[in-house]
Structure 1
Amino acid sequence: MLQELGGYMFVGGQGTLCLANTDNWQPLHSDYYQAWHKALESEPEHAPCLDLMFTVHPLTGANGAMRILPGQPLADRTYRQDEHPPPRLDKELESSKQSQLHPLPAGCGILRDIRVWHGGVPNVSAEDRYIPVLQFYSSRILDLCPDACTRGFGRGVGEDDINQKLAAEIKEVIVPFIVRKADDEMPYIEGKRAC
């Protein structure tokens, strides 16, 4: 499916965490508010990066489900968010605070253009909330910015792991830049940054 949408390739993963008994809101924001390449500034309809998030436990109104505002920012403002930022939390409409992705059972996938405005909500439950995330970049962004997927973090996926654990059709969507060859240096964590 991701290949058909625009040649998207798997480039890595991460996760989100909302600790139990958290009573604050995360302000609306975009994870990609400036074009990585000049050519993309005139292509706001092109989604260079997609996140595929997985619910590993149910998301409810009490455990910090994500809120997301489809259609925001407007296409002509996608890469002009310095001029047209999301509203501050105290200026947000109540409808944007209620635009939450719940209820969702465990096992759901949420495919998200990372440019879309989103934020977090309080987790008033007694359990931490985790959401693992797979990241995919379009073939267009990989052609324009070949180093975009490593961003100085090194190659983190072992070639042996890919060959032994993944089906052939999955191997086809893994971008080669993240595959660690036998002679590559092993990535390590330094402070809060992978090297």
Structure 2
Amino acid sequence: MSNSNETKSVERHAELGWHGTDRNAPEVVQQREYLGANNGLRDVEILDPSEIERAVKIFRRDGFVLVGDALSPDQTEFLRNGVVEVVDEIVAHDSERGGNRGSHRYSFGGSSVTRSMLHRPEWQMLVDLPTVTPIVTAIFESSDYLLRSASGDFCLPGAIEYQPLHSDIRDFAPDGNTPFSAFHDPRGFLTLRDLPCPYVCVNFLPFDQTALNGPTRQIPGSQHSRAPIPTLDEEPEWMRLSTACPAPAGAIQIRDVRAWHGGTPNLSDELRAIPNLEFYAPWFREPMIPGITYADHKKLSEHAQHLTRLSVMDSSEQLPAGYVVKPLPNRT
């Protein structure tokens, strides 16, 4: 993307954001200055894609790892342009910027009528990258893993609130409201956090992730913790500042979905978007919803076809398209 186009994109998303909030309000300016000076993990390490063993070691220790140059400049631009197009389509359905993951916050897959973004060529491109596939294969110690979803999230400028820390998966609870991603040991010995990683999330960065544009906060080592996840009122300040930044466009963040994480304020004038892919471990499965047509599936690499084998529609079926924005129900 040229500098001229980047400037136009920034201006457009600054206009899309900051709905109902003055970006120059004293409390916003104060928080912007504070985050600019303090936000971000200290000495965060960004690996080269060739450092596969080290990536696996850090992933298993911290519950996440950052890898730079996973996307080429051309791939980054292609992904960025597609993301901007999708963002504009989604936000057009939400004039009040209420979001579906909190104010000014949105899930890509959660906005798609298919619950997936795999119909988009930008997400299809990500399924089998030579810089990413070897690392995911090493994490699972097998190439026979499976695509769970193609989604991600974005936050507009003016997302001034913190998203509560959460995990994307949990143990079974006898309340009738347990998601598919659950585990139950009737003996009471093991929890989901005692097992190998059931699935990973790979976030792709089409934009730089900075201290001010809503970087994901990630709590190192929390993937194995049995402690209750702190609420926003309970969360210590160091956790609020434990964000994966700075990280450059073209990088990826691979995370264990059990690890505690959450969104942070976007006090910039820039869109922050992290499209993702999630991959099941070879031993873990859930019900699947098709997200790619038979014709598009046949265009993928052989390995990508294998990874998406439960996401493809029958050749006689048509894939619905479109977006809708519905607020996320309160979690219980």
Say whether the fold is shared (TM-score over 0.5): yes
Between Structure 1 and Structure 2, the one with more strand by share is 1
Could you say which residue in structure 2 is the equivalent of 1:183?
316
* Structure 1 residues 25-174: aligned runs within 5 Å: 25-34=162-171, 36-38=182-184, 41=191, 44-75=194-225, 77=226, 84-142=227-285, 148-150=286-288, 154-164=289-299, 166-174=300-308
Q: Which has the higher contact order (CA 8 A, sep 6+)?
A: 1
1:31-73: CA deviation from partner (whole Å, max 9, x where unpaired): 1122524368367231111110011100000100000002115
CA contact (8 A) 2:145 2:307 kept: yes
**By how many angstroms is 1:125 displaced?**
0.6
User: Residue 233 of structure 2: SS of its match in structure 1?
Assistant: helix
CA contact (8 A) 1:64 1:121 kept: yes
Q: Report the TM-score, using the length of structure 1 for normalisation.
A: 0.79
Q: Give the 3 Å change call, closer, same or farther, for CA 190–108 of structure 1 in structure 2.
A: closer
Distance, in Å, in 2 between the alignment partners of 1:173 and 1:48 is 15
The amino acid across from 2:313 in the alignment is: R
1:93-121: CA deviation from partner (whole Å, max 9, x where unpaired): 12111110110110011111111000111
Distance, in Å, in 2 between the alignment partners of 1:42 and 1:52 is 20
Structure 2 regions of 5+ residues with no counterpart?
1-133, 173-181, 327-332
Between Structure 1 and Structure 2, the one with more helix by share is 2
Distance, in Å, in 2 between the alignment partners of 1:127 and 1:49 is 30
Structure 1 regions of 5+ residues with no counterpart?
78-83, 143-147
| Matched length | 176
RMSD: 2.4
Q: Report the TM-score, using the length of structure 2 for normalisation.
A: 0.48
**By how many angstroms is 1:17 displaced?**
1.2
The amino acid across from 2:252 in the alignment is: G
Distance, in Å, in 1 between the alignment partners of 2:312 and 2:228 is 36
